[in-house]
Amino acid sequence: MNGYDIIDEAVVDAPADVVWDALVAEFRGAARWWVPANTFETVSGAPDKVGGMVAVTVHTKGVGNGGPKLRFTARTESVVPGRRLTVEYVDGVFRGPADFLLEPLDHGRRTRISMHFRGRAHGKMKLMEKVADIGAEHSKAAQAAFVALGKQLSAVPAGGAR
C-alpha cells in the first residue's frame, strides 16, 4: 500500500473559535475528547505555532488497557488560527501531512471539523497494515473523537467557561 488519503468530518454545535480552542488544548495534552484512542503531548514549541512538535500515541486497545502503542510525531507546518492547522508526521509509525479544518456553519453557531490524513505507514506499521484495516481504524477513532468533542462542547453553556 502506498499510503492513506482519508477525510473524516463531523458537525459540532459550537462556534469555530470554541472548537479551535478545544483542538489546540487536546494537542497540548488535555486528554478530554480524543481519549481513549489517542493521547498527545507537546514535545517542543506550541501545537498552534509553526514548528511546534507534538508526540501522538495511538492506544490500540484504549488508554490503560494494554495492547500495542503506536507512536509518531507531528510538526506544525502552517496555521490559520480558528480555521486550519496543518501538520507533517515526521517520526514514528506514520509519515506525511494531515490537515485539521474548521468551517463555521449556521451563522457561526455550529462548526464542521474535518481531518484530512494523507500519511503512509512506516516501520512496524507496515507489517500491521497487512493484517488490519488501518484506514478503517483511523476513521473509527477520528469519528469517535469528534462525537466526544461535540458532547463536551454541547455541555458548555453559551458564553460559559470550558
The amino acid sitting at 12 is V
Could you tell me if residue 50 is inside a domain?
A: yes
Q: For the chain, how many structural domains are there in total?
A: 1
State residue 157's pLDDT score: 59
Closest to 61 in 3D by CA, of 40, 37, 39, 41: 37
Could you tell me if residue 35 is inside a domain?
A: yes
The CATH number of residue 55's host domain is 3.30.530.20
Could you tell me if residue 43 is inside a domain?
A: yes
State residue 159's pLDDT score: 54
Could you tell me if residue 74 is inside a domain?
A: yes
Could you tell me if residue 159 is inside a domain?
A: no
Strand 6-12 and strand 38-44: the pairing is unpaired
Could you tell me if residue 97 is inside a domain?
A: yes
Number of CB atoms found within 10 A of residue 72's CB: 20
Ranges under pLDDT 70 in the chain: 1, 156-162
Look up the domain containing 92 and give its range: 6-154
